[in-house]
Amino acid sequence: MNVDLALNAFVTLFVTIDPIGMIPIFIALTQGMNSAERSSVALRGATIALCLLTLFTFAGTIILSALGITLHAFRIAGGFLLFYIAFEMIFERRQMRRESASDTAITKDDIANVAAFPLAIPLIAGPGSISAVILLSGQFNNDLRSYGILIGVVIAVLAILIVTFMLAAPIDRFLGTSGRIIMTRLMGVLLAALSVQFVVDGIAALWHQKI
């Protein structure tokens, strides 16, 4: 039974986090960085996301309830954050900031900031994945072994994500400048649509809950 639940958890989290679909977004977020800096961002982002998803696996429902926050409200907030990122990607605000600074402007603090926001939060550990681990934890037996299985699934998905991020550099070289611009704006539009969907789903759920 745990095997079936673990497989279901893996598929759910893999689709929710979408490591393959994250590659163009990662490229856009790390423009101007070398391979070592991108690797640092990938590892930091995945580590932060793992800590957050682990926390919400064990205590997600308790934390949200204690703060008086519903999953639907959390989804709406995440949607607004994603829309802000999408806006910057579509209108190249992020790229303009990169071009106005020198190459030495990419510091350890800059790498840490990008890894934490928006990569770890809300792109990896966002409303979808956090909601997923909270819901999945409810399907497992309430014991440490079951929680360990779910955390193992989370680690497996994030490991795949890191590998895909490590392949971002050759993909970036293949796309070139024009390809990056097109991909960045395209992903910005898709992110905008995804963010709106988060907000719409959250509002609809809250509306039905009140009715």
Give residue-wise pLDDT tens across range 40-81.
999 999 999 999 999 998 887 788 788 888 777 877 887 787
Q: What total of structural domains would you count in the chain?
A: 1
Q: pLDDT tens digits, residue range 130-150?
A: 888 887 886 666 677 888 889
In-domain check, residue 199: yes
Q: How many CA atoms lie within 13 A of 103 on its CB side?
A: 2
The mean pLDDT value of the chain amounts to: 80
Full domain range(s) for residue 104: 2-9+25-210
In-domain check, residue 15: no
> Any idea what DSSP says for residue 175?
H
Contacts of 106 (CB under 8 A, 6+ apart): 32, 33, 37
In-domain check, residue 86: yes
Angle at CA of residue 31, ends 25 and 35, nearest 5°: 100
In-domain check, residue 177: yes
In-domain check, residue 118: yes
Alpha-carbon gap, residue 144 to 136, rounded angstroms: 14
In-domain check, residue 16: no
In-domain check, residue 130: yes
Q: Is 32 left (phi over 0), alpha (psi -120 to 50) or beta?
A: left
> Any idea what DSSP says for residue 101?
S
Provide the percentage of residues in the chain whose pLDDT is more than 70.
85
In which band, very low, low, confident or very high, does the pLDDT at 153 lie, cut at 50, 70 and 90?
Answer: very high
